[in-house]
Structure 1
Amino acid sequence: MKFPSGSAQDLLKLIGDHPLAWMVSAREGRFQAIPLPLLAETDALGELVSLLGHCSRSNAQVAHLRENPRALVLFSGPHGYLSPSLVSNPTWVPTWNYAVAAIEVDMTFVEEETRGSVVRLSDAMEAGLADPWTIDRAGPRVGPMLERIVAFRAEVRSVWASFKLGQDETLEALNELISGTSDRALADWMTRFNAERLPQGALAPE
């Protein structure tokens, strides 16, 4: 079975819920990679058009990406092994469910947005907290910190995503897997992607 690439909203939820991604590039036949939290930027139609982030200026990959801006960004959402012990069917075999995306991008470093990128990322991560942190709390540390990092915008060229979340399972097996797995984040995504097959009310509100 070919698993769905999901909707624009599925992709944005994956990035929003799991913002830490691998930024991968190649130089002279050797790969370079760095893990970075990224923010999705969308157009008027809600489609992903770019990713905003920042990184250390001293990272060797920065100089490389200034020369050759093409990169691959890898996001991994909830995933996990599902054991036959969760399913009553004795012939059911183990599997691994996942939500992943690979996004080809062109990188542009935007020095003037460095402070803004820190503010936007921290605001997104602090949202919902009782006493959210703001950059002003860092006081005199802000200036030196901003001098050591640089913001970038990764313009989206293409997207490949796959959401393997139990769509090929029988309804009985699906229910057993969702109720039996200890990974509730994975269970929630399985529920979300099988909402039309599951009993009404099974899908939790977002």
Structure 2
Amino acid sequence: MYIPIHFKIEDEEKIFEFIEKYSFATVYSTHKGEPYATHLPLVLNKDENVLYGHFARANGQWKDIENQSVLAVFQGPHCYISPSWYEITDAVPTWNYVSIHIYGMINIIEDEKVIFDSLDEMVNKYEKPDSPYDLKKVDSKYNEGLSKGIVAFKMAITKMEAKAKLSQNHPVERQELIIENLIESSNQNDLEVASLMKKNL
């Protein structure tokens, strides 16, 4: 990923924080000689330095994904930045965003306990704390049947690239003008970008 120095995120904890918050990723690999992508949630295990996930068994991407470098892209908030917000007229529009690229090697998981534990962790991550749903309480035979329809994997992280393009290359006064305009929006992406920009000032 092209990352000008102004926009590079080097703090590993901050990168992990983004991954955990914006965890619905796109996994890219070469499948049958062509680029191929699947959109799916991934769960980070910082202690193991891996990402856990699963493909639908009918999705052939898993069949040749081992033994190649794989890319997982996590897209954070993003929004259009209008030059009409600037204090000058000689300017061009741009786009602010956060994006995390994780490279690694994928191993298919066969161990049924590891598969269940990874699914249980994923469910617990997204269910509300007061949710009555508990994967452990679902009938074991039903779970076994569902498990046959997926292929679980873990992705060992080999490299991380992280970019937060939040107008850091502009004067502080202009950044403040951008924030003022973004916080007037009802769009969630606009508001999240404004919040991130405030933290960077």
TM (normalized to structure 2)? 0.84
Secondary structure class of the residue paired with 1:155: strand
- Larger RCO (CA under 8 A, 6+ residues apart): 2
Corresponding residue pairs, total: 188
Q: Is the 8 A contact 2:30 2:65 kept in 1?
A: no
Map 1:12-161 to 2 at 5 A.
12-27=16-31, 29-43=33-47, 49-66=49-66, 68-112=67-111, 113-127=114-128, 129-131=129-131, 133-136=133-136, 138-139=138-139, 141-161=142-162
The share of aligned pairs that are identical, in percent, is 28
Q: Aligned Cα RMSD in Å?
A: 2.0
Secondary structure class of the residue paired with 2:65: helix
Residue type of the partner of 1:24?
Answer: Y
Residue type of the partner of 2:18?
Answer: L
Residue type of the partner of 2:92?
Answer: V
Residue type of the partner of 2:57?
Answer: R
Unaligned 5+ segments in structure 2 are none
Question: Post-superposition shift, 1:53?
Answer: 1.0
Question: Post-superposition shift, 1:132?
Answer: 5.4
Question: Post-superposition shift, 1:27?
Answer: 3.9
Q: Is the 8 A contact 1:77 1:98 kept in 2?
A: yes
Question: Post-superposition shift, 1:137?
Answer: 5.2
Question: Post-superposition shift, 1:77?
Answer: 0.8
Unaligned 5+ segments in structure 1 are 198-206
> Once superposed, which parts of structure 1, at least 4 consecutive aligned residues long, lie more than 6 Å away?
none
TM (normalized to structure 1)? 0.82
Residue type of the partner of 1:148?
Answer: G
Secondary structure class of the residue paired with 2:52: strand
Q: Is the 8 A contact 1:6 1:163 kept in 2?
A: no
